Amino acid sequence: MGDSLSIQHQEQGRSQLVKMGLMAGLTLFLCLFALGQGSSSQLDVLTTAKIVLGLESGTEIQSSIIWELRLPRVLMAIIGGVGLATAGALMQGCLGNPLVSPLTLGVASGAALGAALAIVLGFSFTTIGAFAIAGNAFVFSLIVVFIIIQLGRYRSISAESYILVGIAITFIAGAIVSTMQYFATDAQLSQLAHWSFGSLARPDMVIVLGIGIVIFGLMPQAMLWSWDLNALSMGGDDFAISTGVNPSQIRKNILVLSALMTSAIIAFTGMIGFVGLAAPHMSRLIIGNDYRKLLPSSAICGAFLMILADTIGRTLFAPVVIPVGIMLAIIGGPVFMYLLLQSKGVQR
Partner 1 sequence: MSLLDVHELCFSWPGREVLRDINFEIKPNELVSVLGVNGAGKTTLLKCINRILAQTSGRVRLQSKDMVNLSLMKVAKHIAYVPQNVGTNFPMKVFDVVLLGRRPHLSWFVGEGDREKVSESLHYLNLSDFAFRRYDQLSGGERQRVVLAKALAQDPNLFLLDEPTSDLDLKNQIIIMEKVRALVKDSSRASSALVAIHDIDIAARFSDKILLLHEGVIHAFGPPQEVLTPENIAHVFGVEAEIMGDSSSMRIIIQGALE
Binding site for partner 1 (CB under 8 A): 2-3, 5-6, 8-10, 12, 92-93, 96-98, 224, 226-227, 230-231, 233-239, 241-246, 284, 288-290, 347
Q: Which is closer to partner 1, CB of 244 or CB of 319? A: 244
What is the nearest approach in angstroms of partner 1 to the Cβ of residue 338?
21
What is the nearest approach in angstroms of partner 1 to the Cβ of residue 267?
29
Single out the residue of 333, 316, 320, 313 nearest to residue 77, CA to CA. 313
How far is the CA of 120 from the CAs of 134, 188, 263, 269, in angstroms? Answer: 14, 6, 21, 18
| Alpha carbon distance 185, 180 (integer Å) | 10
- Radius of gyration over every alpha carbon of the chain, rounded to an integer in angstroms: 21
What is the nearest approach in angstroms of partner 1 to the Cβ of residue 248?
11
Residue 104 CB-density burial (10 A; 0-12 exposed, 13-18 middle, 19+ buried): buried
The DSSP letter of residue 298 is H
Half-sphere exposure of 204 (CA within 13 A, CB side): 3
What is the nearest approach in angstroms of partner 1 to the Cβ of residue 198?
28
Residues 6+ apart with CB under 8 A from 127: none
Cα-Cα end-to-end distance for the chain: 37
Q: Which is closer to partner 1, CB of 2 or CB of 129? A: 2
What is the nearest approach in angstroms of partner 1 to the Cβ of residue 224?
7
The helix or strand, by DSSP H or E, that contains position 243, with its residue range, turns out to be none
Q: Which is closer to partner 1, CB of 290 or CB of 310? A: 290
Q: Which is closer to partner 1, CB of 217 or CB of 236? A: 236
Q: Which is closer to partner 1, CB of 141 or CB of 297? A: 297
